Amino acid sequence: MSAPARGRLWRSLTLRLGVIYVALFLTSTALMFGAAYWMAVYRPLQQEAAAVRSEMGDLAAIDRAGGRDALIRALVTRQTTGPKKPFHALIAADGEPVIANLPSWPDDPVSGWTLLEADIYQAGQEHDYEALVVENRLDDGARLIVGRDVESIDDRDELFTIGSAWLIVVAACLAIGGSIAMSSAVGQRIDAVTRTARRVMAGSLTERIPLRGTGDDFDELAATLNMMLGRIEESVESVRRVSDNVAHELRTPLARLHADLDELRGADHAAERERLTEQALAEAERLQSIFDALLRIARIESGRHLAGMKPVDLTLLLADAIEFHMPEAEARGQRIESDIAPGLVIEGDRNLIFQAVSNLLDNAIKYGGEAGAMRVAARREGEGVRIAIADRGPGIAPEYRDRVTERFFRVPATAGEPGTGLGLALVSAIVALHKGRMEIGDAGPGAMVTLTLTF
């Protein structure tokens, strides 16, 4: 395998996770086995060695203080009253044994610890013992060997040795199997995300990452990505609709503007030229208002106004909006009734909220009919404020209520009225920016638009 290929292979997350899993599994297994070996074999063996070393010191002190006979009596006493299966051998300087219960010992003196086979035949039966012994040279050159039986510890050591070989094989198989299973599970989830992303990049915006319903981190990530894909799909579809609607909506005023300018070019009378100029300016202003509204909606939907959020007194804001529109309503013989609770304060952008309320009041005046009445009500509701604006106009049919917030959509019954078809779309964008809710219902007669804004 070439170096670049090895580099690409190692960059694979699933491979690295698998290798890390195997390493951690084997390391933890080795640590647990080591701890068990230390408790079952090493520590007991060290305790026996410490006891033998202490006994050797005591026996050497007896030899120096009481002589050889005292040492022999101590060895006999140790054999009968000492720990289970104590072993010893006292060999004179000329090599002749003086006293011993060890069946054999090294011919030459040894330093350090030694394990000796100490099998003993008693009553025609063989008893297996393993003696841990240490040797000391006495003052007259005699050799003193003292030890204890560690057969049970040695048996555990053999079991651990055999078990470790099997453990390594089993642990390696489990680690590799677990690594493959984990890497496969992770790889499948990553592949699902990759396949979906590639299909979306190819133009299939309706594709979504499949969820397994486990509620794990991958499901949470997939759900979040699906929400993002949904927003992307909505945005792309919205751009497409806006493009189509803009092209459609601009066709008529542009045609009128072109006709007015063409006619102006051939007009002979000043009055005619002035009339055509005014018509052309009116069409240009309508075009500008459409573009201004579209730019305003785009800025709001981009979230650029979030930095301007601060406490807003809705009670005062609604009163200002009613006062602002009152002259227009009175000129049409209409009246505006209000029922606004005091102390309604939320976190928001005052200018945008005022614009939203102003658009709704403007629509209510425009479509409320002559000598009609409008009602503005506001009160606390749960963790927010509910604002309801109702008129006595023709209302909005149920089949159009979900579409009136679309850009350029006009209810057929009022399509001939002046306007751009962007007012409610702007209100909807402002409410969404404030994480609120906008509902359109029936005022019986007339339409009622309800805004719910949270604190």
Report domain extents, the chain: 12-156, 217-301, 306-454
Query: Residue 446 phi/psi, 5° resolution?
Result: 100, 180
Could you tell me the pLDDT band of residue 10, with boundaries at 50, 70 and 90? low
State the pLDDT at residue 371. 66
State the pLDDT at residue 379. 94
* 300: exposed, middle or buried (Cβ count in 10 Å: 0-12, 13-18, 19+): buried
What is the rounded average pLDDT of the residues 21-41? 84
State the pLDDT at residue 339. 92
Radius of gyration of the CA atoms of the chain, in A: 48
State the pLDDT at residue 79. 80
State the pLDDT at residue 149. 86
State the pLDDT at residue 385. 93
Which residues contact residue 62 at a Cβ distance below 8 angstroms, ignoring those fewer than 6 apart? 70, 71, 74
State the pLDDT at residue 407. 77
pLDDT surpassing 50 at residue 5: no
State the pLDDT at residue 316. 95
pLDDT surpassing 70 at residue 1: no
Q: Which CATH number fits domain 217-301: 3.10.350, 1.10.287, 2.60.120, 1.10.1760?
A: 1.10.287
Poorest-confidence range of 4-8, 41-45, 97-101? 4-8
Classified by CATH at the fold level, domain 12-156 comes out as Beta-Lactamase (3.30.450)
State the pLDDT at residue 9. 46
pLDDT in tens, 405-454: 877 777 776 666 666 777 888 888 888 888 889 999 988 788 899 999 98
Mean pLDDT for all residues in the chain = 82
- Is the model more confident about 166 or about 120? 166
Could you tell me the pLDDT band of residue 70, with boundaries at 50, 70 and 90? very high
* CATH H-level superfamily of 306-454: Histidine kinase-like ATPase, C-terminal domain (3.30.565.10)
**Bridge pairing between strands 310-313 and 335-340:** unpaired
| Crossing angle (nearest 10°) for helices 423-433 and 270-301 | 20
The listed range with the strongest mean pLDDT (1-15, 75-89, 243-257) is: 75-89
pLDDT in tens, 305-359: 565 678 999 999 999 999 999 999 888 888 899 999 999 999 888 888 998 999 8
State the pLDDT at residue 361. 92
Could you tell me the pLDDT band of residue 144, with boundaries at 50, 70 and 90? very high
The sheet with strand 86-91 has its strands ordered as 97-100, 86-91, 143-149, 130-137, 113-117
What is the rounded average pLDDT of the residues 274-299? 78
pLDDT surpassing 80 at residue 89: yes
What is the rounded average pLDDT of the residues 203-207? 86
Quickly count: other Cβ atoms within 10 Å of residue 322's Cβ.
18
What stretch of H or E contains 335? strand 335-340
The listed range with the strongest mean pLDDT (111-125, 246-260, 300-314, 433-447) is: 433-447
Poorest-confidence range of 189-203, 219-233, 260-274, 368-382? 260-274
Percent of the chain with pLDDT over 70: 88
Exposure string over 123-162, b if 16+ CB within 10 A, otherwise e? eeeeeebbbbbbbbebeeebbbbbbbbbbebbebbeebee
